[in-house]
Structure 1
Amino acid sequence: MKKTIFMVCAAILWNVQMAAQSVGSWTADNGNGTFTNPLFYDEFSDPDMIRVGEDFYLAGTTMHCTPGVVILHSKDLVNWEFLSYCFERFDMGDEFRLENGKEAYGQGIWAPCIRYHNGKFYVFSNINGHGMQVFIAENPAGPWKHINMGGNIYDLSVLFDDDGKIYAVYKYDEVRMIEIKPDFSGYVEGSERVIIPAGNAMGEGHHFYKINGKYYIISANYAPVGRMQCARADRPEGPYETVTISMKETFGTMRAMTVENVGLGSPVPSDGFQFKINEPQGNYLSAVPLHQGGIVDLPNGEWWGFSMIDFMAVGRTTCLSPVTWKDGWPYFGLPGNLGRSPRTWFKPNVGKNVQPHAPYVRSDNFDGKALLPIWQWNHEPVDNKWKLANGKLRLYTLPAKDFLWARNTLTQRGIGPVSIATVEVDASRLKEGDIAGIGLLNMPYAWMGLTKDGKSYVLRWHDQASGQKKDVEIEGTASLRITGDFHRARAQFSYSTDGKTFTNIGDSVRMPYQLKTFQGTRYALFAYTTNDKPGGYAQFDNFMVEEPMADRSKNLPLGKVITLVNLGSGNPAWANPHGMLHSGSKNANGMECRFRVHDRGQGRVALEALNGTGFVTVVGEGLSSDVRLLKEETEGSLFLWQDMLYGQCMLLSLKTNRYVGIHPETGEPYSADWQGTLPDRKDGTVFSWKVITEK
């Protein structure tokens, strides 16, 4: 009876939560004609994008996860939807199946290039040790034909030239080019050559274009500081000249907490491994700024840039930037502020009214005939050891020495800034030595699961980084939950026996970024056995993802009275009676200044100081772009509100395309000639704001 009541209550709760989630998943679209980066608040690394007519297509890295190489579709560059994966399985050896002590963590398939030519879609990508892979389809929704071309062609981009030749550019630092045979049976003999020698700051992750008769290569360089480079030539083989088109843009994001001693080529860390985890290091920029992306044009002639950014525990995610052409170079950014990108900007002018929506449905009650597209397997699954049956996911236990070697682990990317993943687990069919539950797939990992101990069951929590474990006696069914703060890289595990009241287990765990997999932390459903032979199975139901910060509608306080405190100086902004905007502890009346936020449409605001001095207005340009208080609004009174989350913002002047800021230590008046902020947000350009009750 208790179990029946629990199931009925859970079903009712599921329906309520699903209704809430339909409007509660992160989307970059602000619903007012603007968007806020990142496009997705979950991992989408190594993006490549094309336009075909009025449709846009986006391909991204999936590494060792299957199905592999995701394709998304959009009508406006901001709102995307899942379209297909290029393949279901690698079928390339034990390492892709976690068999015989072999693994492919951080290997697999990465840095895809998507192209369209003569009615067909192409995706080119590399698998280490197996060469360049080509996927071909007449419809980007699939099916995709697969060709393994071999060779050592990585971080590549492909150009179908007007004369029928097909070129691939590739490699790190030293940029090489090779010609591909038209039937993709191999490479043209003798065609490989160096087109940009090492030391010319071109880096990796190339994007190759022909625009107005000239050849462009956009790449990511990391020495000494991450930036995006562009090379240009009159012929595909060069000679090339280069410039920097984007640099230092972090959107005020600190470098992620990182694992120092787990990297590319490292063995998979076993329990007892001593992780060296570094906390974020101030304004260190090497891995954070926008990097590795390209450009795409609109039917109206506008150009937009796309790139990725290291976004704390979620990993690398994709951002969108307006492009300004100057002297034949496609700079990311706006006139007057080239090389820096606004976090919030006006949506691309595609002439379509696309309603805000997320690319995936993340919650799954497993009632369907197939898994939702958001799910991927950690390595290749064993097909006869999992199933969807009677509205539940069934995972059979297979031998594994620990969580990272468990086969048939089902994962989806963690989504930020904060998300809560809950699942119901029925362990009644487990055998002695089996364990099943929910985990954080990372290195270090953490998990919570049910295990059978004689005739009873134990709920076990394990944090690999600290080595801590904790057991709680429990019945065979429970709701398990992870609350992930992906911005601060911390997570808390909790459990419930009634589906309503949750109890924390263990300390909060760290979710660092590591360069073994180059991926963010993932939610994972798992089942394995510590025995030498397969065991029983666990059933999972009602996997639910909640995103408490996805609704950002109140992050723009239109019509409200607010105070602004500069994060750099720690002082409120106040209106000097002489008509200047200052930073200080008090204004002339001994009180902090209050501003009314007037709505001017499309995210544009005018700020009126309530001490009677007028509207915050930018006067002049360049070094003279001071900020004054004028009685009447002018074009200099318009700002685009930059939502930095957590009650923080920047003010982008639509007169200068730069930000309002001060030098925190000098106490001089504000100006609107700041390019952007630093990762710690304490350079004088970021404000904390709060709504106050007007008296």
Structure 2
Amino acid sequence: MKTFRNPILSGCYPDPSVCRVGEDYYMVTSTFEYFPGVPIFHSKDLVNWRQLGHVLDRPSQLNLDGTPCSKGIYAATIRYHAGVFYMITTFVESVEGERRNFYVTAERPEGPWSDPVWLPGAPGIDSSLFFDDDGKVYFTANRRPPQGQQYPKHMEIYMQELDIKEGKLVGPTYSLWDGALKYIHAQEGPHIYKVDGYYYLLIAEGGTGHTHSVTIARSESITGPYEGCKSNPILTHRHLGRQHGIVNVGHADMIETQNGEWWMVCLGSRPYGGYYRNLGREAFLVPMIWEEGWPVVNPGKGIVEMEMPFPNLPETRWSSQPACDHFESAELGLQWNFIRTPRGEFWSLRERPGYLRLHLKPDSITKLENPSFVGRRQQHINMSVRTVMEFTPASEHECAGLVLLQNTDFQFRMELGRREGQSELRLVERRAGEERVLAAHEVDVGKLYLKVEAIGQSYRFYYAVSAEQWIALYEDADGTILSSDVAGGFVGAYIGLYAGSNGSVSNNYADFDWFEYKEEQ
């Protein structure tokens, strides 16, 4: 039997949503405080995916200025109707700030996508759209129950009609669902489907941590009442314990193939070195069938597995992304992100062709700012990163190098700076906002090779003044600080290039000739 390996998107690609157009499949995921927002992927077989671009790739679409870590763009939903793609999502301003729902449209999945259509008066998160057979369009999300919360994080799923031509919500709101089981909290992630005359409401419940789950309800009327499936939750791993290879499974979307098979995409995490999830929440694929009007996920097993039967679709593989980016293109590769919306011309691929130039900014990677940082997701438990940097710090305010980042308060920085008139390469561990230098070597050269290896939770840092002549800077840093289980939040670890002047104005810059990321066995 032909099989595939989960996850289908490794690294921080949470809250997957999928739609089908003929024989083509498109998927989007959440991006929180990172820019561009909402990557969009294309597949022919639901297993092999290639990135087409980002839905929110212009500052006019996405202003993340001052957005706290793990806020910003929450769960996105992608749908296709009458020749138009729709992506709807929630912008979460802050911990207690407003949740603002909006959607954008495009005729082609790679874009360009429109500027946002904001939906005022639509509280809650995880918005979704459903296009009914009669031409009506419905908006769903979660909110606090109008009658009040009966237990902590008690939410309900509600619905309102959307006038798609006018871009506004109309008519009454309907309460659809407020829990499959009493005290299973955080009802969110709703999607509506119509199958064999029933409207099905798919929900994420239990929070996005260890007790995450997928539940479902159905009704003969889209406005309800909805009856819950007696088998709820139809998917969860919370009963498997924290030692299982895949945990916190939930937040799903369903899709029927052109061959009549049904599949579910969902998020999950792979803990390692204990219950630590440095890679964040990843995208998984699991088969499902219908029995007596209800979905059964992975029949006979009921869980997501690392190895699963391949869909009844012709396998279509795409060319893989090169391990090494030589920065020879006119634009940054699709794997790269900024922290918050990029402000100012702080990076360039043209000022020195064949190099990524980062101009030093006063903005700090330890504050809710837009630092001079270009990074990508850590996608593998064992991995290595190498780069070569040309940089000469002119003052003790200036630094540049490699950063492994969970958020502003939890990170490793392997940076070249100055101290007491001497250039030094130092490894800084930032834990809970407190910094300590794990190692520092005097390095008086303008060109420096940098390398990081992660073997499980052991992170190892090296440098060289000549190619491949590696010198150990620090060989057993505790990688668990890059896990949300230590640092908090909802994202996975990033690794990237950074140049900063720590609040001071600087005309200096750092040049990076190439950046290599590889999975290690």
TM-score by length of structure 1 reads 0.65
**Residue 182 (str. 1) matches residue 168 (str. 2):** no
Contact 2:12 2:280 in 1 (8 A): yes
Contact 1:457 1:476 in 2 (8 A): no
Q: Which runs of 5+ in 2 are unaligned?
A: 93-97, 144-154, 271-276
CA distance in 1, matches of 2:344, 2:174: 44
Which residue is equivalent to 1:392?
355
Shift of 1:432: 4.6
**Residue 482 (str. 1) matches residue 447 (str. 2):** no
Which residue is equivalent to 1:37?
6
Q: Which runs of 5+ in 1 are unaligned?
A: 1-31, 256-281, 550-695
Contact 2:280 2:483 in 1 (8 A): no
Shift of 1:546: 1.3
Which residue is equivalent to 1:537?
509
**Stretch moving more, 67-76 or 323-332:** 323-332
Which residue is equivalent to 2:200?
216
CA distance in 1, matches of 2:283, 2:72: 20
CA distance in 1, matches of 2:128, 2:67: 27
CA distance in 2, matches of 1:251, 1:82: 34
Is the alpha carbon distance of 1:184 and 1:122 closer, same or farther for their aligned partners in structure 2, counting shifts above 3 Å?
farther
Which residue is equivalent to 1:413?
377
CA distance in 2, matches of 1:117, 1:83: 20
Paired residues for 1:223-234 under 5 Å: 225-234=211-220
Which residue is equivalent to 1:298?
257
Deviations 1:541-599 (A, max 9, x none): 210011123xxxxxxxxxxxxxxxxxxxxxxxxxxxxxxxxxxxxxxxxxxxxxxxxxx
**Residue 461 (str. 1) matches residue 427 (str. 2):** yes
Contact 1:245 1:332 in 2 (8 A): no
Deviations 1:477-515 (A, max 9, x none): 211112124xx3342222111120322323413222157
Paired residues for 1:14-93 under 5 Å: 33-91=2-60
CA distance in 2, matches of 1:540, 1:385: 14
Which residue is equivalent to 1:512?
483
Contact 1:41 1:416 in 2 (8 A): yes
CA distance in 2, matches of 1:88, 1:424: 28
**Residue 193 (str. 1) matches residue 182 (str. 2):** no
For the pair shown, the structure with the greater C-alpha radius of gyration is 1
Is the alpha carbon distance of 1:105 and 1:251 closer, same or farther for their aligned partners in structure 2, counting shifts above 3 Å?
same
Contact 1:446 1:509 in 2 (8 A): no
Deviations 1:234-253 (A, max 9, x none): 1111111112253443898x
Which among 126, 130, 135 is matched to residue 164 of structure 1? 135
CA distance in 2, matches of 1:492, 1:110: 33
CA distance in 1, matches of 2:199, 2:180: 20
Contact 1:365 1:391 in 2 (8 A): yes
Secondary structure of residue in 2 paired with 1:191: strand
Contact 2:13 2:282 in 1 (8 A): yes
CA distance in 2, matches of 1:302, 1:531: 56
Paired residues for 1:630-649 under 5 Å: none
Paired residues for 1:495-506 under 5 Å: 495-506=463-474
- The residue type paired with residue 343 of structure 2 is V
Is the alpha carbon distance of 1:498 and 1:539 closer, same or farther for their aligned partners in structure 2, counting shifts above 3 Å?
same
Give the superposed CA RMSD. 2.6
Contact 1:79 1:357 in 2 (8 A): no
Paired residues for 1:331-342 under 5 Å: 331-334=296-299, 336-337=300-301, 339-342=302-305
**Residue 321 (str. 1) matches residue 292 (str. 2):** no
Paired residues for 1:597-612 under 5 Å: none
- The residue type paired with residue 316 of structure 2 is V
CA distance in 2, matches of 1:317, 1:343: 12
- The residue type paired with residue 398 of structure 1 is K
Paired residues for 1:362-381 under 5 Å: 363-381=324-342
Which residue is equivalent to 2:151?
none
User: What percentage of aligned pairs have identical amino acids?
Assistant: 27
Is the alpha carbon distance of 1:199 and 1:298 closer, same or farther for their aligned partners in structure 2, counting shifts above 3 Å?
closer
CA distance in 2, matches of 1:480, 1:415: 19
Paired residues for 1:242-257 under 5 Å: 242-243=228-229, 244-249=232-237, 255=242
> Whose RCO is larger (CA < 8 A, sep 6+)?
2
- The residue type paired with residue 543 of structure 1 is F
Secondary structure of residue in 2 paired with 1:468: strand
Size of the aligned set, in residue pairs, is 477
CA distance in 2, matches of 1:114, 1:247: 22
Is the alpha carbon distance of 1:430 and 1:120 closer, same or farther for their aligned partners in structure 2, counting shifts above 3 Å?
farther
